[in-house]
Amino acid sequence: MRKGWQWMLLAMIGPLLISGCEPTQILDETTLITVMGFDVLEDNRIRATASAPVVSSLVSQKEQVVSATDTTLNGIMNKLDLQLDRRPKLGQLRIALYSKEMAKKGMIEFVGVMDRVEVGLRPYLGIVDGKSYDLVQADYPTQGNIGLYLYYTIYKNVRGEQLPSSTLHEFMRDYYSEGNDPYLPFIERKGNDINIKGVALFKGDQYVDWVKPEQAFYIKLVRDQFRAGFFQLSIPTAGLGIQDQRKSNKQETSPIALETINSKKNIKLVSQHPPPLTFP
């Protein structure tokens, strides 16, 4: 009986000793990167631009932006470490941005590496129309931390079903799923503002085109399910059966707004070589 208690005690102490060997991360000794943008250069090297909040009452600057160039994410992180007084970490990464030119060449090699390192909980991915360096390093006086701003902007629109969800794990799932291709928010910088221009479309891991948010409605209608969607369209006024006697108010079409859209899908393959997809 006594020997049994000894074995039980050892079994309880063992996990505690193992967990005690895990390296600790002290907040005051780390730079918590919230957004990182990637661009491909002419020699196929990758330039990464990272932004992190400055947690100090001694400086007026609220954001710290650094940039480094290398061929791997580990090499980039090591070079960023040489520029910072605290070790950079991706544990609070909220969004990773990729330039359109980089996405055209394929993203899975770099995105796959990020999926295997310690990043924030379900960070979003996005495609930048232009250079991600220009977007990340710019000053946005009214928007605060650019990483958190983009994260909550996308999150809000995903919850409102204006955008498809586009986390790192969902990108990897769609890429490896049979019959699926990823799609990500298409983002642009306009002066001191950031605008979600539409949705970037992929074939495999390569960017091929983008559509406006109202056109992305049809993609989500096929791919996912709506629970509280919104859609606006115009239909011929004659089809409504409304007769307006006022000549000055006669219109060929009338705007219609549909709210709280619920949808289910039943997909059937009718052609392996369909005509090009067009939107109204």
* Residue 85 reports pLDDT greater than 90: no
Among 41, 94, 111, smallest CA distance to 71 is for: 41
Q: In sequence order, what are the residues at sequence separation of 6 or more whose Cβ sits closer than 8 angstroms to the Cβ of residue 134?
A: 189
Containing structural domain, residue 61 = 27-213
Higher-pLDDT residue of 26, 97? 97
- Asked if residue 243 is part of any domain, the answer here is no
- Asked if residue 39 is part of any domain, the answer here is yes
User: Whole-structure pTM over 0.75, yes or no?
Assistant: yes
Higher-pLDDT residue of 222, 82? 82
Q: In sequence order, what are the residues at sequence separation of 6 or more whose Cβ sits closer than 8 angstroms to the Cβ of residue 116?
A: none
* Residue 69 reports pLDDT greater than 80: yes
Q: If pLDDT is split at 50, 70 and 90, which confidence band does 15 have?
A: low
pLDDT digits (tens, 9 = 90+) for 156-214: 888 877 888 889 999 999 999 888 899 999 999 988 889 999 999 999 999 999 998 87
pLDDT digits (tens, 9 = 90+) for 145-159: 889 999 999 998 888
Higher-pLDDT residue of 115, 79? 79
How many residues appear in the chain?
A: 280
Q: If pLDDT is split at 50, 70 and 90, which confidence band does 112 have?
A: confident
| Tally of structural domains, the chain | 1
CB-based contact 136:49 (threshold 8 Å): yes
- Asked if residue 112 is part of any domain, the answer here is yes
Q: If pLDDT is split at 50, 70 and 90, which confidence band does 110 have?
A: confident
**Cα–Cα distance for residue pair 115/117, rounded to 1 Å:** 6
Residue 225 dihedral angles phi and psi, to the nearest 5°: -125, 135
CA angle in degrees (0–180, nearest 5) for 205-210-215: 125
Percent of the chain at pLDDT > 70 equals: 71
- Asked if residue 252 is part of any domain, the answer here is no
Q: What is the pLDDT of residue 193?
A: 86
- Asked if residue 35 is part of any domain, the answer here is yes
Q: What is the pLDDT of residue 241?
A: 61
**Cα–Cα distance for residue pair 248/188, rounded to 1 Å:** 40
Q: What is the pLDDT of residue 13?
A: 63
Instruction: Annotate the chain with three-state secondary structure.
Output: CHHHHHHHHHHHHHHHHHHHCCCCCCHHHEEECCEEEEEECCCCCEEEEEEEECCCCCCCCCEEEEEEEECCHHHHHHHHHHHCCCEEECCCCCEEEEEHHHHHHCCHHHHHHHHCCCCCCCCEEEEECCCHHHHHHCCCCCCCCHHHHHHHHHHHHHHCCCCCCCEHHHHHHHHHCCCCCCEEEEEEEECCEEEEEEEEEEECCEEEEEECHHHHHHHHHHHCCCCCEEEEEEEEHHHHCCCCCCHHHCCCEEEEEEEEECCCCCCCCCCCCCCCCCCC
Which of 38-47, 101-110, 198-207, 214-223 is predicted least confidently?
A: 214-223
* Residue 22 reports pLDDT greater than 50: no
* Residue 47 reports pLDDT greater than 90: yes
pLDDT digits (tens, 9 = 90+) for 236-276: 776 566 555 444 455 677 776 666 566 666 777 787 777 76
Q: If pLDDT is split at 50, 70 and 90, which confidence band does 81 have?
A: very high
Higher-pLDDT residue of 148, 17? 148
Among 122, 260, 101, 130, smallest CA distance to 189 is for: 130
Strand partners, 185: 199
Among 117, 115, 121, smallest CA distance to 155 is for: 121
- Asked if residue 220 is part of any domain, the answer here is no
**Cα–Cα distance for residue pair 263/227, rounded to 1 Å:** 7
